[in-house]
């Protein structure tokens, strides 16, 4: 009888639940944003609620979801002693995440729509955000082990941009850089970590269905090429570069170094026989390409910018959703035949693609970003584009909510240490490690 595959640690399951809940809750905040951008329906949303809803949505759908998911992947295999430390960090991270949501909705501070990491200007919100980021950063450090295959090398290398973003923040404050500028720079740096994680997830997805991988040396080189540019901005800051000039440098670094490695790697993987059978991989690569194309058309502060980043972050979100389902799929020798449906992935892809098309069309027509739609003197084309954005947003929300409703209860059962997931009579779905080599 074949041995059962290794199971993720309990702390990894708890991070996975936190990640899934963050993405699911982000769909509620996104509903307010979609209504505010949809013709006719804008009257249902108070104008002053749009910025606060945007702050909560972005933090839930990117920072909390991405960081918690990364922590879940990093902590899949830990020794007993490190599990205790990781569990304490997990509790701190959950407390920080809850603080971000509650203070984001209820604190009296003003919402600041900073790029990448918008925030509410209140000590409780900023403290909660810092607590969450600190616990995930410490989790990244204490969970590092010697990689056993190329995918694990990718998950290890992806930690570098997280560390560089923290270093950038520490260097920024002595230089009296504003919080908006510091978060903007750190947010730029984090993108390199996100794409490196996405590449490692892509590789693991195709490995799980038995497809071949590119040569190990080339794979590792591309992981390094995706991650190492994150060290440029902190190095410049440490060398005494004028932080007022870093804004343009960040943009140029992103423009020339953030996309080539993941694009080349994705195309190499797509050329492997059978790779297209991997859940979510082809669609994730396609969304990333759409995001790159939209980025080349950006000329001003229009909705072409969110069209661009909804393509790139949509690609990463889809890859993570596929990784969650892969974790929850029972092993081949398990007695429970049921696997989570993949329909939420298809719904999400259709919705986010429609949303991107609407945002891009609106941007081409000159619609400004970070504002609700106004029908006053709007041309028919602008109204149709806004309606397309609203339709895409609704479908995307449905896909995300469907995903959370399927995944969260399964993960919650696995978080109960009294349930033995290998029992043939258990209602819990067996789960195997995803990031860790078997």
Residue for token digits 């000159």?
366
Does 35 reside within a domain?
A: yes
Task: Reduce the DSSP state of residue 306 to 3 states and report it.
Answer: helix
- What average pLDDT does this structure show over 83-112? 95
Does 41 reside within a domain?
A: yes
State how many domains the chain has.
1
Does 67 reside within a domain?
A: yes
CA distance 337 to 326: 14
In 3-state terms the chain splits into helix, strand, coil percentages (rounded to 5) of: 70, 0, 30
Does 5 reside within a domain?
A: no
Give the domain range for residue 356.
10-414
Q: Is the pLDDT of residue 330 over 70?
A: no
pLDDT band at 334 (very low <50, low <70, confident <90, very high): very low
Does 432 reside within a domain?
A: no
The beta strand positions in 127-196, using DSSP E, are none
How far is it between the farthest Cα atoms of the chain? 71
Q: Note the Cα 183 to chain centre separation in Å.
A: 17
- What average pLDDT does this structure show over 115-126? 94
Q: Is the pLDDT of residue 340 over 80?
A: no
- How many other C-beta atoms can be found within 10 angstroms of the C-beta atom of residue 425? 7
pLDDT in the model for residue 297? 84
- What average pLDDT does this structure show over 103-129? 93
pLDDT in the model for residue 94? 97
Does 425 reside within a domain?
A: no
Phi, psi of 276 (to 5 degrees): -70, -15
Does 59 reside within a domain?
A: yes
Asked which of 101-110, 159-168, 295-304 is least confident by mean pLDDT, the reply is: 295-304
CA distance 329 to 303: 38
Does 433 reside within a domain?
A: no
Q: Tell me the CA distances in angstroms from 58 to 65, 157, 355, 416, 426, one per residue in order.
A: 10, 25, 16, 30, 37
Segment 167-215, tens digit of pLDDT: 999 999 888 899 999 999 999 999 999 999 999 999 999 999 888 899 9
Q: Is the pLDDT of residue 101 over 90?
A: yes
- What's the chain's average pLDDT? 88
Is residue 22 within 8 Å of 411, Cβ to Cβ? Answer: no
370 CB burial (10 A radius; 0-12, 13-18, 19+): middle
CA distance 302 to 322: 31
Which stretches of 329-379 are DSSP H helices? 343-364
* CATH number of the CATH domain containing 358: 1.20.210.10
Q: Is the pLDDT of residue 265 over 50?
A: yes
% the chain with pLDDT above 70? 87
């Amino acid at each position: 009888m074949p041995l059962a595959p290794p199971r993720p640690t309990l702390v990894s399951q708890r991070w996975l639940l936190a990640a899934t809940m963050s993405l699911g809750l982000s769909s509620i905040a996104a509903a307010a944003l979609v209504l505010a951008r949809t013709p006719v329906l804008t009257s249902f949303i108070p104008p002053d609620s749009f910025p606060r809803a945007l702050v909560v949505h972005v933090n839930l759908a990117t920072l909390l979801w991405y960081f918690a998911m990364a922590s879940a992947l990093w902590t899949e295999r830990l020794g007993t002693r490190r599990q205790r430390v990781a569990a304490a960090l997990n509790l701190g991270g959950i407390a920080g995440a809850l603080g971000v949501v509650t203070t984001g909705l209820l604190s009296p501070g003003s919402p600041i729509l900073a790029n990448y990491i918008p925030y509410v200007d209140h000590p409780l919100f900023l403290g909660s955000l810092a607590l969450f980021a600190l616990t995930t950063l410490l989790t990244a450090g204490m969970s590092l082990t010697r990689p056993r295959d190329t995918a694990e090398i990718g998950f290890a290398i992806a930690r570098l941009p997280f560390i560089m973003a923290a270093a950038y923040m520490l260097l920024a404050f002595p230089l009296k850089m504003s919080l908006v500028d510091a978060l903007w720079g750190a947010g730029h740096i984090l993108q390199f970590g996100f794409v490196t994680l996405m590449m490692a997830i892509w590789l693991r997805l195709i490995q799980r269905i038995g497809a071949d991988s590119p040569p190990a040396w080339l794979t590792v080189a591309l992981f390094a090429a995706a991650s190492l540019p994150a060290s440029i901005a902190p190095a410049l800051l440490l060398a005494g570069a004028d932080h007022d000039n870093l804004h343009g440098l960040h943009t140029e670094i992103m423009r020339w170094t953030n996309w080539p490695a993941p694009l080349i790697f994705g195309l190499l993987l797509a050329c492997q026989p059978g790779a297209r059978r991997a859940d979510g991989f082809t669609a994730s690569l396609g969304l990333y390409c759409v995001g790159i194309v939209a980025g080349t058309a950006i000329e001003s502060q229009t909705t072409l910018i969110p069209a661009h980043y909804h393509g790139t972050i949509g690609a990463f979100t889809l890859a993570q959703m596929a990784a969650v389902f892969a974790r929850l799929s029972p092993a081949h020798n398990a007695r429970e035949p049921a696997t989570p449906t993949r329909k939420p992935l298809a719904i999400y892809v259709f919705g986010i693609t429609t949303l991107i098309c609407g945002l891009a069309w609106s941007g081409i027509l000159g619609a400004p970003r970070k504002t609700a739609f106004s029908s006053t003197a709007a041309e028919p084309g602008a109204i149709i584009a806004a309606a397309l954005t609203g339709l895409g947003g609704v479908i995307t929300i449905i896909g995300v909510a469907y995903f959370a409703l399927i995944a969260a209860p399964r993960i919650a059962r696995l978080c109960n240490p009294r349930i033995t997931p290998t029992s043939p009579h258990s209602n819990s779905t067996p789960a195997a490690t995803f990031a860790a080599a078997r």
